[in-house]
Amino acid sequence: MTTYKSRAEVPIEEKWNLDDLYLDISKWEEDLSAIETMANDLKNFDGAIKNGQDLFHFLKKQEELSYKFNHVFAYAMLSVDLDTRDTTSQSLLDRARTLSVKVSAATSFFMPFLLSLDEATFKQYIAEEEGLKYFEEDLLESFRYKKHVLSKEQEEILSQLGEALSAPSTTYGMINNADIQFGEVTNENGEKVELTRGMYSKLIEDEDREKRKEAYKAYYKPYLQMKNSIASTLAAAVKNNVTTSKIRSYPSALEKALFGDNVPKEVYENLIQATKDNIAPLHRYSELRKEKLQLDELRQYDMNVPLVSGVKQEISFDEAFETMLKALAPLGKDYVETLVEFKKARYFDVRETPGKRSGAYNLGVYGVHPFILLNHHDDLDSLFTLVHECGHGVHSKLSSQHQPQITARYSIFVAEVASTVNEVLLIHYLLDKEKNELVKKHLINHFIDKFRGTFFTQVMFAEFEMLTHEKAEQGQPLNVDVFNQIYETLFRQYYGDALVFDEEVKYGWSRIPHFYRPFYVYKYATGFASAIHIATKILDGDKATLESYLEFLKSGSSDYPLELLKKTGVDLTTPEPIKNTLTQFAELVEEFSNL
């Protein structure tokens, strides 16, 4: 694997071209001060919107500001991520963030104003001004919230309480990122060193069981020590959520969370029910792990070690890219050519360098193009990451090309569909062409574990959130014992009797930051199920599904997520897509067992 000591060593074709955003910093500075002026202009509309024309001018100006601001912010963020130690880039990002607060303050009057209009006045404004047709659907979408928006004074009080209401999340973030100190593990030289998260993710996959156990115990140590503090932050977060849902007249906290995407709560309940009705293959997989690892007792720290060893593939970036193009051929010539263009025009930042942000992401910038950050390690995981992020990238590119600015950004609910369709096509391509039995087994094992993490674990988390919120809504207490009892019961239901429980298992809830962003994780599972459904049909040569899927990639947020997915043949209001997904999982486990 190629390692680089500095960014200067990385070949130019493997680095982003940020000139596509700003050729020089003076242009960035110009836009920054222009946005400030525009924000002040927008503030002057407070109390001055008297007719359709005024409303149109406000919205037009707001959209122009948003367009410029996205460019300014993207440039600063992308620069920081290339070297998080660089103070010049940091100051650009700080200035962009400060400006963001100013813009929000300048336009905060608008939503209460809009929702104070009665429907007749609103319709009269639309009739008066032709240009408002462009904004009409967005404005009507805001009206959907009317019965959940309070008076101007009450809204002001709530917004002032915003910081206090988010305190549990902030406090947990501090505990989890800044204060937490993991226990000690033994390094290669036999010395005791403090465990880090990065070390943990490697050690928990180590073939040496003692190393896994030591890492597992060390990792959970601080969570057990701080169990009461963490339980109180989580209980407060759940109760805050329940309280604001009541204040805003939602039937439940769950329905408040689903309202934005216009998702009925049956979709959430279906997901959990269908998964639990078809959980046997996951239990079977736990038993297979126990057999394959030749253990008397399967423990939680045995759940991540790969079951097939001795398969280390070296895959360079160029090779990974070529493999991706072949794997995604079923999506058609245009899709593949779009990706070739991505590489030619330098949309990727490929290599890990000192100070660069870890992980991977895609950032679509409207009016420019997607920017894809990678830290390519020349291995199988990096190939999957490339294919995943390119799914997001093409989704961004096509939505920007085919949608106006107002509907170009797709919602998180559908975001994981495009990335997972690509991963499913890749795994099928690799399995079809692979002759080596060992590599084949390794690939199936890789996909089963991906399935488990992206689907089953997220559904289990979603059920945990639902049960804890229901308790709060019934006025029942939430504390360490309650969280432990719920989490342990769920873990047993999902993973089966093959697993012997260590004391740590029931504290799993204490290390999940997603629980502070309520009812969010289920979207990983619905996105995964939708993608499996679509990719399977495409691989079966279903032309109608392929066409409707390519249309879906151009749709941005031009409709509600469930409606967009229905056009591809996925109806999440029925249990079908979830059942199909679980059938595929059962087949994978069966195939792995036979191999």
The string of pLDDT tens digits covering residues 221-258 is 999 999 999 999 999 999 999 999 999 999 999 999 99
Q: Could you give the 3-state DSSP secondary structure of residue 298?
A: strand
pLDDT digits (tens, 9 = 90+) for 87-118: 999 999 999 999 998 898 888 889 889 988 98
CA gap 430, 387 in Å, rounded: 13
Average of per-residue pLDDT values in the chain = 93
- Strands 184-186 and 192-194, sheet pairing: antiparallel
Share of the chain above pLDDT 70, in %: 99
Neighbours of 512 (CB within 10 A): 17
CA gap 469, 230 in Å, rounded: 16
Residues in the chain: 595
pLDDT digits (tens, 9 = 90+) for 116-174: 898 889 889 999 999 999 999 999 888 888 889 887 778 778 877 877 888 899 899 88
Task: Please provide the DSSP assignment of 261-280 as one string.
Answer: TT--HHHHHHHHHHHHHT-H
pLDDT for 411 beyond 70: yes
At residue 324, what are phi and psi to the nearest 5 degrees? -60, -45
Q: Which helix (H) or strand (E) holds 224?
A: helix 209-225
pLDDT at 177: 79
Out of 14, 129, 214, 389, the active site residue is 389
Confidence grade of residue 1 (pLDDT, cut at 50, 70, 90): low
Q: What is the mean pLDDT of residues 447-472?
A: 96
Contact by Cβ (8 Å): 463, 490? yes
What stretches of 34-136 adopt beta strand conformation (E)?
none
Q: Could you give the 3-state DSSP secondary structure of residue 192?
A: strand
List CB contacts of 326: < 8 A, sequence separation 6 or more: 429
Report yes or no on 523 lying in a domain: no
pLDDT digits (tens, 9 = 90+) for 312-370: 788 999 999 999 999 999 999 999 999 999 999 999 999 988 888 888 999 999 999 99
CA gap 144, 365 in Å, rounded: 28
* Number of domains observed in the structure of the chain: 1
Report yes or no on 147 lying in a domain: yes
Neighbours of 267 (CB within 10 A): 19
Report yes or no on 295 lying in a domain: no
Report yes or no on 582 lying in a domain: no
Neighbours of 346 (CB within 10 A): 19
Q: Is 563 a residue of the active site?
A: no
Report yes or no on 12 lying in a domain: yes
pLDDT digits (tens, 9 = 90+) for 41-51: 999 999 999 99
pLDDT for 589 beyond 90: yes
Q: What pTM was computed for the model?
A: 0.89
Task: Please provide the DSSP assignment of 326-343 as one string.
Answer: HHTGGG-HHHHHHHHHHH
Confidence grade of residue 2 (pLDDT, cut at 50, 70, 90): low
**What is the domain range of residue 97?**
7-165
Report yes or no on 470 lying in a domain: no
CA gap 93, 76 in Å, rounded: 5
Confidence grade of residue 401 (pLDDT, cut at 50, 70, 90): very high
Burial 115-139 (b: 16+ CB within 10 A, else e): bebeeeebeebbeebeebeebeeeb
pLDDT at 287: 95
Q: Judging by beta carbons within 10 Å of its beta carbon (0-12, 13-18, 19+), is residue 317 exposed, middle or buried?
A: buried
Confidence grade of residue 421 (pLDDT, cut at 50, 70, 90): very high
pLDDT at 211: 95
Contact by Cβ (8 Å): 369, 20? yes
pLDDT for 198 beyond 80: no
Report yes or no on 56 lying in a domain: yes
Name the DSSP letter for residue 358.
P
CATH number of the domain enclosing 65 = 1.20.140.70
Calculate the alpha carbon distances from 557 to 389, 395, 407 in Å.
19, 11, 5
Reported for 480-483, long-range contacts at CB under 8 A and 24+ positions apart, including other chains, are 480/227, 480/228, 480/231, 483/231, 483/234, 483/509, 483/510
Report yes or no on 77 lying in a domain: yes
What stretches of 6-63 adopt beta strand conformation (E)?
none
